[in-house]
Structure 1
Amino acid sequence: MRTDTANFKKLFLEDTPLLDVRAPIEFSRGAFPSADNYPLLDNHQRELIGTAYKHSGPQAAIDLGWELATEEVITARLAYWKRFINHSPNGYLYCFRGGLRSRISQKLLRAEGIDYPMIKGGYKAMRNYLLSELEKQCKSLPLVVISGYTGSGKTELINWAQRSIDLEGIAKHRGSSFGRTDSEQPSQINFENRISIDLLKLSQQPGNVAIEDESRLIGCCALPPTLQTAMKAAPRVLVEVPLEERAKRIVRDYINEGLKRFAAIEKPPVQCLGEELRFNLNKIQKRLGGQCYKQLDEALISANRELEHHGNSEAYIPVVVSLLQNYYDGSYNHLMEKSKQEILFRGTYSEVQQWLMDSCQVN
């Protein structure tokens, strides 16, 4: 029989299946990539028991819990748990602190002849472990920051490198005002947990780790301060790509690929994309200045019309070139002027790709 565990490192390195018996509201605030939520208590039941605990003490809360645990409720819970355990016999269950809810869940399962181990300390202990590991790995892993103007293909290079961490992929956002994807962004806690787990896995072998140059916010996800500090101290590799080539890559990624996000919507995808592009442009209106914004908005309307009537996405290239020249490139230059980071290498996309092959591979 497997026993309860506090070997958090092994759990995360092996992506061990985790049965989270906390209430759905707790799970939504923060969990782990390999966890599924099959709660012992729903949100309302948790609230009632919490109130009983606050006003009348732990025994009153326990008594109310068993009162709420009708035969129908217990049968439904056990059905969920059995399906999970049959699919993941090597997993573990946990609640918030590895206390009463975990023990009650184990008791109910044992009555069905199932011994399923729990995680000592529960969610709180695992979360603290990941926060500690994040601090540790940010200080010890040899990070290399991949930098370059917008549209240089930095994310592609990150995904191509053997040893890398894709922050935009984890955040499910491309990082700019136009960077929304078709996936919902994770909670801040889930964002941090995933970064910590990925860094922990990378730390199991020596070698450089490539990471894309990012601002503090990637959509609504904020880089952990300890990671920001590590990235500011890490050396850079600069990707140098001509303006026109960058604009074509952006049109490919944001227009041609972007249309696919609206395929299941009743309105025409071209119309949806055009409205979103204008909305995003409006978000940076103050930074562009009134006259520049007006010219770009008019050009964008024209490009949207060209795509709608003729399917020609190349009409966006001049719009993107202007946006890069009038906003994104200037912001990047300003940041680079302030940076005192060592530059390890600079070159074209293919040259940086070769550098990554030589310097950020699994040993």
Structure 2
Amino acid sequence: MAKTTNDFHRIVVGDIPLIDVRAPVEFAEGAFPNAVNLPLMNDEERRLVGICYKQKGQAAAIALGHELVSGAVKEGRIAAWKQFVEEHPETLIYCFRGGLRSQLSQEWASAAVGREIPRLEGGYKAFRNYLIGHLEPGWLSSVPVVLGGRTGSGKTLLLQRLDNVVDLEALANHRGSSFGRFIHPQPTQIDFEDRLAWALIQHEEAGHRLMVVEDEGRHVGSRYIPRPLVEYFSAADVVQLETPLAERVRITFDEYVVSAQEKFGAEFGGDGLARWLEDIQGSIQRIRKRLGGERLKRVNGLLQAAYEHQLASGDPDEHKQWVELLLVEYYDPMYDYQLEKKKQKIVFRGGADDVFGYITSLEK
């Protein structure tokens, strides 16, 4: 009997590699953090087999599948599985429900490698259900602590110094603000949930006393944190990071101007700076109603002047002017309003080193 496993905990804590043999369109809708898509059938082949199944039944569909995936096509797909397994000996295989596709892939790949490659019992669906169950916080033993602070205070930089963190922004590939998009898109909601459950399981396995998360609300960009976890984090103590305005301007400038321009340059070459400007202008447009006409005009004016100065001189420093305006006149009033609601939960305030020391002391 072909070897299977449903030890999903071991897969997560061991970061065991997975081969997802579903079609690319299925993989794009949702997959696991350590999975690679090496499909048995491509999207068109899957579509044709699906039509055949509806019109002529399972036996005819299986026969068509074997016809489509034969000869050089079959050899190429087996070669890809074999190469991946040789590079990652612990690899497991799965399809959607652990059915015919993964069974056939398991058989072919195992024959090519010369040993049996286990497949996931129940496939993607069973593993996904396991992860969804771990988005309920009742099983967690660590104590949540929320790291708060004004925009630009350096919360992400501080989180990077700690090892008892679940980094929601990294999992969602978004910096959590109106200007928080990265060049590459956010994961699907399904992928975000899988990544989050994965991170929670690994955090718990590490035995941390605390779970430090950034103060995010329910949404991180266009992705949302499941409600039970939102309520779990909302009830937590808050540690407030306090950073002088000049430092906040520098941190924000470094991230949203200097670093972002470098990334756009790496992605788009000579068009990078212009593409960065378009992205910033788009972010400003998304908050135009909340900015109001007068502030919108001022921000856009400062941005355009700084951009033209940078083009002429190579110096980006004038961008700090619109950065500071947004921090002081847009982000700070919003944060002050939210802070008023949670001020009773603040248990510590201080600069980065003080907050780091406080959180570290609680972990002991």
Provide the residue aligned with 1:233 in structure 2.
Answer: 235
SS in structure 1 opposite 2:216?
A: coil
Would the aligned equivalents of 2:151 and 2:327 in 1 still touch at CA under 8 Å? yes
State yes or no: 1:294 paired with 2:269: no
How far has the Cα of 1:313 moved from its partner?
2.9
1:139 CA displacement: 5.5
Amino acid of the structure 1 residue aligned with 2:178: S
TM-score for both structures, normalised by structure 2: 0.93
- State the number of aligned residues: 361
1:311 Cα deviation from its structure 2 partner: 3.1
Q: CA deviation at 1:100?
A: 0.9
> Could you say which residue in structure 2 is the equivalent of 1:191?
192
Deviates more, 1:320-329 or 1:108-117: 108-117
Paired with 2:249 and 2:241, the residues of 1 have a C-alpha distance of 15
> RMSD of the alignment, in Å?
2.1
SS of aligned partner of 1:229: helix
Q: Is the 8 A contact 1:138 1:230 kept in 2?
A: no
Counterpart residue number, 2:18:
18
- 1:339 alignment partner, SS class: helix
User: For 1:254-274, what per-residue CA distance to the aligned partner results, in whole angstroms no more than 9, with x for missing partners?
Assistant: 111111012242445443333
What is the deviation of 1:82? 0.8
Per the alignment, in what secondary structure is the counterpart of residue 5 of structure 2?
A: coil
Moved more, 212-221 or 27-36: 212-221
Corresponding residue for 2:69?
Answer: 69
Are residues 1:324 and 2:327 paired? yes
Please say if residues 137 and 199 of structure 1, whose CA atoms lie closer than 8 Å, have aligned partners that are also in contact.
no
User: What's 2:173 paired with?
Assistant: 172
- Distance in 1, Cα, partners of 2:156 & 2:353: 14
Aligned equivalent of 1:214, options 213, 216, 220: 216
Aligned partner of residue 238 in structure 1, secondary structure: strand
Tell me the residue number matched to 2:262: 260
Please tell me whether the aligned partners of residues 146 and 154 of structure 1 are also in contact (alpha carbons under 8 angstroms).
yes
**Corresponding position of 2:87:** 87
Match of 1:9 in 2: 9
Seen in structure 2, the aligned counterparts of structure 1 residues 137 and 24 have a Cα distance that, compared at 3 Å, is farther
Equivalent pair of 2:140/2:204 in contact (CA under 8 Å): no
Q: For residue 119 of structure 1, what is the aligned residue in structure 2?
A: 120
TM-score, normalising length: structure 1? 0.93
1:270-303 CA deviation, whole Å, 9 max, x = no partner?
4333332222212211101011111111111112
From the superposition, tell whether residues 238 and 111 of structure 1 become closer, same or farther in structure 2 (CA, over 3 Å).
closer
The one-letter code sitting in structure 1 at the alignment partner of 2:290 is R
Match of 1:55 in 2: 55
Q: Retained in 2: the 8 A contact 1:138–1:227?
A: no
Residue of structure 1 in register with 2:253 after alignment: 251
- Could you tell me which residue of structure 1 aligns to residue 157 of structure 2? 156
Q: Distance in 2 between matches of 1:341 and 1:358?
A: 22
Percent of aligned pairs sharing the same letter: 39
Query: In structure 1, what residue type is equivalent to 2:352?
Result: Y
In the alignment, residue 280 of structure 1 is paired with which amino acid?
A: S
Instruction: Give the letter for the 2:164 counterpart.
Output: R
- Could you tell me which residue of structure 1 aligns to residue 354 of structure 2? 351
Distance 1:110 1:348, change over 3 A: closer
- What are the within-5 Å matches in structure 2 for residues 128-167 of structure 1? 128-136=129-137, 140-167=141-168
Does residue 277 of the first structure (1) align with residue 280 of the second (2)? yes
How many angstroms does 1:187 deviate by? 1.6
Per the alignment, residue 38 of structure 1 pairs with 38
CA contact (8 A) 1:234 1:341 kept: no
Deviation at 1:348, TM superposition (A): 1.6
Residue ranges of structure 2 left out of the alignment (5+ in a row): none
Give the Cα separation in 1 of the matches to 2:358 and 2:110: 56
1:99 matched to which residue of 2? 99
